[in-house]
Amino acid sequence: MIEAVLPQASLLKKIIEAVKELVDEANFDFSETGIRLQAMDKSHIALSFLHLRNDGFSEYRCDRSQTLGINLNSFSKILKCAANDDQVQIKATDKAEKLAVSFESSSKDRVSEFNLKLMDIDIDSVDVPEMDYQATVTMSAQEFARIVRDMMTLGDAITIDATKQGVKFSTFGDDGDGSILLKHGKLIDDENNPSATSVEINEPVSHSLALKYLANFAKAAPLSDSVTINLIEDAPVMFEFKISEMGHIRFYLAPQIEDDNE
């Protein structure tokens, strides 16, 4: 028996919107301590991890660990039927074939009950070791989404350079080239969520990444005021969006290898 309640449906909506950019179907692993999800995109290049701790829910119960295979588009359709400030409850019996999803408006005048078909998904799980990153950039999540969107109009790849001065994003394409530098310690002016850019650095690192994946990661920006970008030589870049006091969503993306002959 699984039962989990969130006071605001909007949070679950944002989480599923962020994950469904990468994969159509995913296994949600429910355990006593919370919910975990791991998903690799179809081209096996980007990896996403979601972790929601049990204490972040207003109610949480999981009698025994259970994996629920969920079609994220179907789940998203059902969540669209919730008002943002509806309370949302998800519920499944042992060996359930359906996930019960219910919404209740704050005034209790409207109760919605949905059943989402569950599925068996065969996925190998991947272990990603924790690392001592060479550089850690923290910046406004909204600014990150904006830079990715802007750079996509010019090029296919983005280079992230983390130095003591700050973090520089650059791209090039047929129309020209460009770079955007966010200075360390400076506050990004943003009415909604002012957020200082900070670059902690052991050694300068530079990585080139495919913009189309970053555009998917940027869908997680509504979840968090800031994003943390962790870089290290010869390993995937990790993007982490904190989910308010209950967990995080992390994306890993392998850098593009530069062709020496170019």
In DSSP terms, 196 is beta-bridged to 187
Closer residue to its own copies, CB minimum distance, 101 or 238: 101
Residue 122 or residue 189: which is nearer to its own copies going by CB? Answer: 189
Q: Give 72 or 238: the residue with its C-beta nearer to its own copies.
A: 72
Among residues 102, 40, 24, the alpha carbon closest in space to that of 252 is found at 40
User: In whole angstroms, how close is the CB of 156 to its own copies at the nearest point?
Assistant: 14
Which segment (53-61, 146-154, 216-224, 247-255) binds its own copies by CB under 8 A?
146-154
**Closest of 256, 226, 227, 225 to residue 240, by C-alpha:** 227
Residue with tokens 């994946």: 213
- The answer to whether residues 101 and 114 touch, using CB atoms and an 8 Å cutoff, is yes
Among 33, 66, 67, 74, which residue interacts with its own copies (rule: CB under 8 A)? Answer: 74
| SS3 state of residue 260 | coil
Q: Where does this chain touch its own copies (CB under 8 A) — which range of 44-52, 105-113, 204-212, 243-251?
A: 105-113
73: contact with its own copies by CB under 8 A = yes
119 binds its own copies (CB under 8 A): no
| Radius of gyration of the CA atoms of the chain, in A | 20
When asked if residue 187 is in the footprint of its own copies (CB under 8 A), the reply is: yes
Residue 211 binds its own copies, judged by CB under 8 A: no
User: Are 88 and 14 in contact, with CB atoms under 8 Å apart?
Assistant: no
